[in-house]
Structure 1
Amino acid sequence: MTEQTASPAATDVPAATPLPPVPQDPPVLPAQDPTPAAPRPPRRVLRAVLRWTAAVLVLGGIGTGTAAGITAMDRTDVPGLATRDDGRWDYPALSLPALPAGAPRPFTDFNAAEVHHADLRRLLLPAPAGATVDKDLDGGWVDIARYAAEYGKGDRAAVTEQLENSALRHIAARGWTMPDGTSSRVYLLQFNSVAYSTEFQDNLFDNGSLPLPLAGMAEPDFDEGWSATDGAEFTAVHAYTEPEPHGAEQVRHAYVLAGDTLALVVHTRKGEAGAEAVPFHQTLILQNQLLG
């Protein structure tokens, strides 16, 4: 009988020996502060603090922006601070004309005669909005006779003679009438130097305190509503009004001495109310600024 050999499949295979476990590093624990930690505030308190902090930051930003905005605005542009309409006229934005190359400003150390080198016509105050411009006084040159006509008939010859014998260079003028009937006229008389303009102004004050009255008015009186602090630096302003009871037309006028130039500003208005002080002072201030 033939002996058979056992199949490899039937051979007994010893069981696999289990591998030893891989050693694990011990977990790293956070360092402990020897000082015990303070207990955390409740979440409701944290949320409240965060809300108030955010509110303060927002309001602070708004307040800063508002302050900066108000600083850059005129009083009449700020809601709640607007000035009520007080009768001022709506003048266009003013700007000084360019000077010839190398020419100094009138009130500098290099301009002893205080000469305005800019075109005198460009230094005239423009007419405000709503005005009807006088065709004879449209911002150009006028002669001595036209200027002298502002005075009473008995004084025109003397005024004419003084101007003809002085170092007058030329006269620029502009006039207009407002819807309420106020008539405005501005004359700029330019001389060779401040000495000649001062001399002519002094001659207009025949009694040393009040000037020659203008046509249509009685003896002028000082304008008590005008403050000397309203004038521009280096200029001198003398303002007058026709006291009550005035005639059918009240006259307000003023002289502005600014270096080589003397300005005459006139406001007249018929009726019992007469010429209002506010627009007269406004016109005077703006014309003064252009010359200063």
Structure 2
Amino acid sequence: MSDRLDVSGRLDVSGRRDTSGQPDTATRPDAPPLPSTPPPSAPHPTPSTPPPSAPHPAPSTPLPSASAAPPLSAPPPFAPSVSSAPPHPAPRVVPPPSAPHPEPSPPVVPPPPAPHPAPQAAPPPFAPGIPAQQPGRDRRRLRASLRWGAVVGVFAVVGACVAYGLASVDRADLPGLATASDGRWVYPELTRPPLPEGSPGPLDPANKAGAHHADLRALLLPPPDGAEPDRTLPGAGGWLATRKFIAQYASREDREALDRLFTDHGLRRIAARGWTAQDGTHTRVYLLQFATAAVVDAIDEQQVFTGYDAPRYALRGASEVHADESFPVEAEVAGVRHHVYAEPEPYGAEQVREAYLTAGDTLALIVQSRKDGAAAIPFQQTVVLQSRLLG
């Protein structure tokens, strides 16, 4: 009986070809079943390894030699099935033919390498001669800037406070900035007295008589600051008697002529006030009110009291008085006529300055005298302010 190897790699000792692939147990019921050969295990997946710099070739498996027989303890990959045989002759084991060379496994393709981060742009090269800025240096500059900014802010606040303080203070109270005094007096705020309802002012064209409807005593110029009132004159508290006004003229003949003049022209009343300023200047102001402005205009045109170069009637202590050419024309008040005189040098114990004013129905006389000379500025100031009250 010839032994043959089927295509499945199993040996049929009976000379038949087993096409089922299972051992023939019917011929040998007493033959023990052969152990089942486990099917070849599926190839394990190749573990993923970190992407190498270059793929390594798959290791080649050495092929078994055709002449070397496999050990009996380990069955070949394809164990032949043994058919039933007579018990006496021992089965002859035919070595399996050499297994076909396994196909080489395809090379493991490594996963694509992870993309590397894009390289950062290199900083521009430093310009020659310009040192690189360091963080510490920047911080020092920032601190220096903050300090200087704080200093500038403090100086700005202090300067604003100083400027406000200087602006709120009177210039005359600041040392070095005060304007040198020209001798002017400080008068209180001047306010004309209220007129009766429906009564026009003395210079109003509707006032044909040119009358001062307000209280004449309220039209007297008040004393300047620090002046001592003249107690011999009534001021706002009363009226001055005509004989007291005439008594201040030097010549007896002049006093008698003035008495007749006042009687003929209808003198109504006289308001008078006087004071002595801090510089020693004695001032007297007289307001003589007549019936109408026509009477006052006639007295002025006839030059009863005034002349071109000197007044008609000389006051006591002022026998030589002449027109004061230094009186500024700009100081004259519209509607009020001025006649200003001053005693030239050499004068006596006192220098006398006097002015006659006419406004409406009122004739005014202002007299100032001072030892060693009466200043021109306070006199001009007094004349202008009294003229504004009358106009």
Q: Is contact 1:113–1:193 with CA below 8 Å preserved after alignment?
A: yes
Structure 1 233/128 Cα, relative in aligned 2: closer, same or farther at 3 Å? same
1:238-265 Cα shifts (integer Å, max 9, x gaps): 1100000001111100011111111100
Which amino acid in 2 is paired with 1:253?
A: E
SS in 2 for 1:137: coil
Higher strand share: 1
1:47-81 Cα shifts (integer Å, max 9, x gaps): xxxxxxxxxxxxxxx9xxx9xxx9xx998699987
Which amino acid in 1 is paired with 2:275?
A: W
Question: Is residue 123 of structure 2 the alignment partner of residue 123 of structure 1?
Answer: no
Report the alpha carbon displacement of residue 159 of structure 1 after superposing the two structures with TM: 1.2
* More divergent stretch after superposition (255-264 vs 220-229): 220-229
Question: Is residue 330 of structure 2 the alignment partner of residue 229 of structure 1?
Answer: yes
Identity, in percent, stands at: 49
Structure 1 144/85 Cα, relative in aligned 2: closer, same or farther at 3 Å? same
Structure 2, unaligned runs of 5 or more: 1-159
Q: Is contact 2:353–2:374 with CA below 8 Å preserved after alignment?
A: yes
Report the alpha carbon displacement of residue 86 of structure 1 after superposing the two structures with TM: 1.2
Q: 1:265 aligns with which of 366, 376, 381?
A: 366
Question: Is residue 306 of structure 2 the alignment partner of residue 210 of structure 1?
Answer: no
Which amino acid in 2 is paired with 1:115?
A: A
Q: Work out which of the two has the higher radius of gyration on C-alpha atoms and give 1 or 2.
A: 2
- Give the Cα–Cα distance (whole angstroms) in 2 for the partners of residues 76 and 97 of structure 1: 31
* More divergent stretch after superposition (89-98 vs 189-198): 189-198
Question: Is residue 242 of structure 2 the alignment partner of residue 144 of structure 1?
Answer: yes
Structure 1, unaligned runs of 5 or more: 1-61
Question: Is residue 196 of structure 2 the alignment partner of residue 100 of structure 1?
Answer: yes
- Give the Cα–Cα distance (whole angstroms) in 1 for the partners of residues 192 and 173 of structure 2: 25
Structure 1 113/209 Cα, relative in aligned 2: closer, same or farther at 3 Å? farther
Moved over 4 A (4+): 73-82
- Give the Cα–Cα distance (whole angstroms) in 2 for the partners of residues 200 and 77 of structure 1: 47
Report the alpha carbon displacement of residue 209 of structure 1 after superposing the two structures with TM: 4.2
SS in 1 for 2:338: strand
- Give the Cα–Cα distance (whole angstroms) in 2 for the partners of residues 224 and 231 of structure 1: 13
Q: Is contact 1:188–1:263 with CA below 8 Å preserved after alignment?
A: yes
Q: Is contact 1:162–1:200 with CA below 8 Å preserved after alignment?
A: no
- Give the Cα–Cα distance (whole angstroms) in 1 for the partners of residues 217 and 292 of structure 2: 18
- Give the Cα–Cα distance (whole angstroms) in 1 for the partners of residues 170 and 338 of structure 2: 26
Report the alpha carbon displacement of residue 124 of structure 1 after superposing the two structures with TM: 0.2
SS in 2 for 1:168: coil
- Give the Cα–Cα distance (whole angstroms) in 2 for the partners of residues 138 and 79 of structure 1: 41
Report the alpha carbon displacement of residue 233 of structure 1 after superposing the two structures with TM: 1.1
Structure 1 74/147 Cα, relative in aligned 2: closer, same or farther at 3 Å? farther
SS in 2 for 1:104: coil
- Give the Cα–Cα distance (whole angstroms) in 2 for the partners of residues 80 and 289 of structure 1: 34
Which amino acid in 1 is paired with 2:180?
A: R
Which amino acid in 1 is paired with 2:262?
A: L
Structure 1 80/232 Cα, relative in aligned 2: closer, same or farther at 3 Å? farther
Q: Give the structure, 1 or 2, with the largest relative contact order (CA under 8 Å, sep 6 or more).
A: 1
TM-score norm. by structure 1 comes to: 0.70
Q: Is contact 2:201–2:212 with CA below 8 Å preserved after alignment?
A: yes
Q: Is contact 1:239–1:255 with CA below 8 Å preserved after alignment?
A: yes
Which amino acid in 2 is paired with 1:141?
A: W
- Give the Cα–Cα distance (whole angstroms) in 1 for the partners of residues 335 and 208 of structure 2: 13
CA RMSD of aligned residues (A): 2.9
Report the alpha carbon displacement of residue 146 of structure 1 after superposing the two structures with TM: 1.4
Higher helix share: 1
Report the alpha carbon displacement of residue 210 of structure 1 after superposing the two structures with TM: 2.2
Q: How does 1:148-159 map to 2 (within 5 A)?
A: 148-154=246-252, 155-159=254-258
Which amino acid in 2 is paired with 1:164?
A: T
Q: 2:207 aligns with which of 111, 123, 133?
A: 111
Q: Is contact 1:163–1:200 with CA below 8 Å preserved after alignment?
A: no
